[in-house]
Structure 1
Amino acid sequence: MTISGVLLLDKPEGFSSNAALGKARWLLGERKAGHTGTLDPFATGLLPLCFGEATKFSADLLDADKAYEATARLGQRSSTGDTEGEIVEERPVDVSREQLDAVLTRFRGEISQIPPMHSALKRDGKPLYELARKGIVVEREARHVRIEELAVLEFAAPVLKFRVRCSKGTYVRVLAEDIGAALGCGAHLTALRRIAVGPLDIDAALTLQDLESIPTKEARQARLAPLDSLLASLPRVDLGELDAARFLHGQRLKTADSVGLAKLLLPARTVAAEEPPDVGLATTEAAGAEIRVRVYDPARLLGTALLGPDGRLQPSRLIAA
């Protein structure tokens, strides 16, 4: 029997994301599984794992903001930007709290980052980290990311502990290196812990040891979060039984609930009416683009849909009965 749900895993240090997924899959007895974005082996923290039908919605968390707690060692640069590399440069650290605060202001909001060579990004089909291991360095394009929060937790030179909430695609290793460069002393990460992915929080996570300590496979499966926890940020539409049956057959439909939601979330703009041309009456035309919503019948989640400005629902991803 296929199970569906989300395991909020507190990944241990030294495990790759795929290794952690494999261990969890074995403990839960479910073959259909995937993660929602990798964590480096040296990093710990929240790794949401999707099982069964939840794998259809794993991409939603790939696009979500992430939050981390990190520790940087000022005055040392490493070949990888973290503890997995060799120290390639050392400099004295003469940084006051006032200087640190002034530098950190540059890294809040929209910033540019150059992805590191030691990353899973691909060039000609090969991950950059494979090239880096051979001593090959290739040019990488800068990418724009957003730093929503950057807060100092502790600072006692040369150690800086900070919390960051950022958009997808942000490399915290690169952020630490860039902060070190701006301070004039260099830096590398010595610890990284992910504490949130979108609406999901580390406080609800289980370790692999927690999972192993649960005596039966069925009891472990009962600890999975419902698959709609991946979709908590999406607006909700509820359907009656007849409309739910049509929706599950892939039919487009419009209900009072969906029309009301569209009016609330997709603002309209006023334009001049074409008819009658001599009157110029004001009319309303929807200006918003389609948005994704989660759709339910009276008993369960049915899937996701695109909600148009007119309130029409177009099924996108459906859950098997």
Structure 2
Amino acid sequence: MQGFLNLNKQFGWTSHDCVAKVRKILRLKKVGHAGTLDPAATGVLPIALGKATRLLQYLPSDKAYHATIRFGVRSTTDDLQGEVVVSQPYSNLSLEAITAVLPQFIGKIAQIPPSYSAIQVDGKRLYDLARQGVAVAAPVRTVEVFSIDILDWRAGEFPELELAIACGAGTYIRAIARDIGEVLQTGGTLAALQRTFSSGFDLTNSITVEELETQLQTGNFQAINPDLPLQYLPSLSLSADNGKKWCQGQKIADVIPKVSEAIDISNLSSPYLRIYSQDGYFLGISTFTDNLLTPAMVFEPIS
């Protein structure tokens, strides 16, 4: 079995838990995931099956979330799973005040990851250092937020704001919740998080572990084609002779006319191409530089 599974992760499970459960259910040794989700987060967790684990590095990095921010609260982890260090009602906070500061968090922004995160400093995870009581300044990183839209607003002593956030890789939604609270001088923490899109997979087409088990029992489970989430990459079909050479690890030269017919080579946003046989069979991933097609990952060689 090879391909992908669009898993809807439930609350409380780590991403590693999900991989272990899928591996056991499918009785499959090679299983991996893209885009780690915190245990308290739910939603889309792309799972690679079999040889598709080798394609994880080529998946698109864009993500989208539904996040709930609770104001008046600060915690050690920047979400409600950590120790609450400040709890101060802010019933006078208005939606207008929040709307005015949200543009500060759109675009390329500098972000300090939460102290409890998987970021490494001197080879050690921040969450391990935090649990040991070691104070370490997390490195500032530049991340990109494409859009922030308000979904709901609930006033009260500890008002809550629901947002739809689309962002690039490495963005911490917990940090956005914390930083919005800092700018408003109210404090803020992430109260709930659901990932609605990740690496080409959408929540509407996801399935739970229970639904996976049911589909297997009824014989209805089918892995997602391995090249489906790679549709953002341009594609190229090779002749039978060149396809066989490419699958054997050989570089293919003098392909500019062929590539130019299929792809605007002056406007390539990625160094990678999807490679197919003449009959549409997915062969793998290639780079294209200096008029050479160089195999980056042969998924299924031509026999």
Q: Do both share a fold (TM > 0.5)?
A: yes
SS of the aligned residue for 1:53 comes to helix
CA deviation after TM superposition for structure 1 residue 23, in Å: 0.4
User: Of 104, 109, 112, which aligns to 1:111?
Assistant: 109
Q: Which protein shows a greater Rg? A: 1
Q: 1:17-40 CA deviation, whole Å, 9 max, x = no partner?
A: 000111011111210111112100
1:27 alignment partner AA: I
CA shift digits 1:233-267 (9 cap, x unpaired) = 100111222221111112222444323345x1325
C-alpha spacing 1:295/1:190, structure 2 compared with 1 (3 Å): same
Are residues 1:72 and 2:69 paired?
yes
Query: Match of 1:293, SS?
Result: strand
The amino acid across from 2:287 in the alignment is L
Q: Tell me the equivalent position of 1:306.
A: 287
The alpha-carbon deviation at position 290 of structure 1 amounts to 7.2
* TM-aligned CA deviation for residue 123 of structure 1: 2.6
1:150 to 126, 143, 148: 148
CA shift for structure 1 position 216: 3.6
Residue 229 of structure 2 is matched in structure 1 by 230
Tell me, in whole angstroms, the C-alpha distance in 1 between the residues paired with 2:270 and 2:213: 44
Structure 1 residue 71 displacement after superposition? 0.6
Structure 1 Cα separation of the partners of residues 188 and 100 of structure 2: 17
- Distance in 2, matches of 1:259 and 1:188, equals 50
| AA partner of residue 41 (structure 2) | A
Distance in 1 between residues matched to 2:63 and 2:187, nearest whole Å: 25
Residue identity opposite 1:184 in structure 2: Q
C-alpha RMSD over aligned residues: 1.8
The one-letter code of the counterpart of 1:207 is T
1:57–1:230: 8 Å Cα contact kept in structure 2?
A: no
Counterpart residue identity of residue 306, structure 1: T
- Matched residue, 1:193: 194
Confirm or deny that 1:317 pairs with 2:297. Answer: yes
The secondary structure found in structure 2 opposite 1:266 is helix
Read off the aligned partner of 2:297 and give its amino acid letter: R
Paired with 2:85 and 2:202, the residues of 1 have a C-alpha distance of 36
Distance across 2 between alignment mates of 1:5 and 1:73: 39
Could you say which residue in structure 1 is the equivalent of 2:128? 130
Give 1:120 deviation, angstroms.
Answer: 1.1
The answer on whether the counterparts of 1:258 and 1:313 sit within 8 Å (CA) in structure 2 is no
Aligned match of 1:245: 244
In 1, the alpha carbon distance for the partners of 2:51 and 2:24 equals 17
**Cα deviations by residue, 1:166-188 (Å, 9 ceiling, x for unpaired):** 11000000000000111110111
Gaps of 5+ in 1: 268-287
| 1:303 shift after superposition | 0.5
Contact kept? 1:6, 1:225, Cα under 8 Å: yes
Is the 1:307–1:314 contact (alpha carbons within 8 Å) kept by the matching residues of 2? yes
Q: Which amino acid aligns with 2:243?
A: A
1:83/1:223 Cα in 2 relative to 1: closer, same or farther (>3 Å)? farther
Gaps of 5+ in 2: none
Q: What one-letter code is carried by the residue in structure 1 that aligns with 2:209? A: L
Q: Which residue of 2 aligns with 1:182?
A: 183
| Same amino acid, percent of matched pairs | 35
Report whether the alignment pairs 1:34 with 2:32: yes
Contact (CA 8 Å) 2:117, 2:125: kept in 1 or not?
yes
Question: Does structure 2 retain, via aligned residues, the 8 Å contact 1:290–1:308?
Answer: no
The one-character-per-residue Cα deviations of 1:103-155 (angstroms, maximum 9, x if unpaired) are 10111111111111101122333211111112222022200001101111001
Question: How many aligned residue pairs are there?
Answer: 294
- Cα distance, 1:320 vs. partner? 3.5
- How far the C-alpha of 1:91 sits from its partner, in A, is 2.5
Q: What amino acid does structure 1 have at the position aligned with 2:226?
A: L
The one-letter amino acid paired with 2:25 is: L
Q: In the aligned structure 1, how far is the partner of 2:93 from the partner of 2:232?
A: 40
8 A Cα contact 2:284 2:300, kept in partner? no
Matched, 1:83 2:80: yes
CA positional deviation for 1:212:
1.6
Structure 1 runs of 4+ off > 6 angstroms?
none
Distance 1:308 1:289, change over 3 A: farther
Partner of 2:227, secondary structure, is helix
